[in-house]
Amino acid sequence: MTGLPPRENLPWYVAPLPQWLEDFGLRMAWVIVGINLVGTAFGFWYYGFHPIPLSDPLITWQFAVEAPEMWLFVPDSPVATLFIALSLGLWKLGRNTEWVNALAFFGCIKLGAWTPFVLAAFFSGFIDVGWPMYSFLFVSHLGMVAEAFLIHRYSDFPVAAVFVAVLWYGGNDIVDYFVPLVGTPHHTALPAQEILAMGYSHPTPAHEIAAAGAVTLTLLATFLALATRVKKLETMNE
């Protein structure tokens, strides 16, 4: 795919990146795809899929605690980086797919912001991983938020695509915090949680703080996606 899609005159809150940075990101799309695929692989390793080192069990950490039928709902950030890799890759290949774009936008906004939020909220527990890992997780997830704001250049966020993203990420909120279906809620493990027979404990107020952040960010992503669509339509009619 040659050239870049035009930058429409959108409000700052739906297009906060300067044009030069958007253009740079879109020109470097294949590099960003590769970085996100590496991030996806690392994320699955972080949650406990350990083909390496060979001395580890293949399934460990959070995957080993959660029921296998709920594993799809556990590695939220790696799935989000997979969505943005697919979104950018399909656009570059000339096969732009709106529902993938919406999933990528929601995932990068929600998980990109939720992770720094809980890292800050539960600093004393998370810093046990060490400053290098803590800093990497914090900064890399903020980078996911920035990536989300490339998508408006090649997506119109149609209502049906936004609906798919709301179903997926709203459903994640339900099983992660409110109705786990199997075992206990399935959100990313936080400090102070303890391993139970089927899942983790979810002490107050940590569980409520994490849930409030997740639900707020799902609502924010919904607003931003629909606001982008409305503002694009208004621009077309001017």
In a domain, 134, yes or no: yes
**CA distances for 37 relative to 42, 50, 96, 129, angstroms:** 9, 16, 18, 23
The closest alpha carbon to 94, from 1, 27, 30, 4, belongs to: 1
* Residue pLDDT, tens place only, 163-192: 999 999 999 999 999 999 999 999 999 998
In a domain, 2, yes or no: no
* Structural domain span for residue 198: 19-231
In a domain, 24, yes or no: yes
* Residue pLDDT, tens place only, 49-98: 999 999 999 999 999 999 999 999 999 999 999 999 999 999 999 999 99
In a domain, 3, yes or no: no
In a domain, 109, yes or no: yes
9 contact partners, CB below 8 Å, separation of at least 6: 235
Query: Contact, 225 vs 102, CB < 8 A?
Result: yes
In a domain, 237, yes or no: no
Helix/strand/coil for 175: helix
Respond yes or no on whether the N-terminal peptide bond of residue 11 is cis (omega within 30° of 0): no
Amino acid at 55: S
Q: Where are the beta strands (DSSP E) in 115-232?
A: 195-196, 199-200
Cα gap 95→132, rounded to integer Å: 38
Cα gap 72→216, rounded to integer Å: 22
In a domain, 13, yes or no: no
In a domain, 5, yes or no: no
Domain count, the chain: 1
* Residue pLDDT, tens place only, 123-142: 999 998 899 999 999 999 99
